[in-house]
Amino acid sequence: MSDRRTLAKLLTAIESGDPDAVAAASLMARADGARRIGITGPPGVGKSTLVNALITEFRSRDETVAVLAVDPSSPITGGALLGDRIRMQDHVDDKGVYVRSMASRGHLGGLAEASGPIIETLSHSGFDYVLVETVGVGQSEVEVMDLVDVVVLVVAPGWGDQVQAEKAGIVEISNLFVINKGDRPGANDVQRALRSSVRKDAQILITTATTGEGVAELVDALAIA
């Protein structure tokens, strides 16, 4: 969908619960469209910074990207608390990138109630990839697994002690694991903790999103995961 204004209006209609817009999204076939990547993990691990770095790497490969970023809701207005979303403003003038923020509005699972049809619509709007960044999640917020092709769990140094506690939730639904902020002490410790807790064929990568280190390898892994 080359007309971004039309796309924005359609997504707003879906988010507002317009039955025709929601029905149109539900008719789109899951088998077609963009590759969908879920980016999830605890708060503070640098998910937004990593998504920004992924966009940069995808664009360097001439791949187009849509991003759905689900944020906590403001307790006052009910709108999205944009947080680190400003980091994605690096791509605001790039016609190959489309970023949509959406408030969770109290919906559990790490996403928002309208996330499904919005992801479906973005996937069929001419993009090569759709990145879905969830709210900072805990072990029960695993809804993203049903809406994407690949789930990436992003953690950071210091998270190793939580691997077993989280094993029943987001660790088990993830296809690929990323230890971001890899320039900080403890990244290798988390990698070892994950290695002993996840399936043997799971990929565990280390990135430093602020410098781009490891991001190209992550994009390579996402293409085949």
User: Is it the case that residue 185 has pLDDT exceeding 90?
Assistant: yes
pLDDT digits (tens, 9 = 90+) for 34-68: 999 999 888 889 999 999 999 999 999 999 999 99
User: Is it the case that residue 154 has pLDDT exceeding 60?
Assistant: yes
| Predicted structure pTM score | 0.85
pLDDT score recorded for residue 92: 77
Structural domains present in the chain: 4-224 (3.40.50.300)
User: Is it the case that residue 84 has pLDDT exceeding 50?
Assistant: no
Per the model's pLDDT, the better-predicted residue between 224 and 92 turns out to be 224
Residue linked to tokens 């608390």: 81
Per the model's pLDDT, the better-predicted residue between 147 and 217 turns out to be 217
Per the model's pLDDT, the better-predicted residue between 30 and 158 turns out to be 158
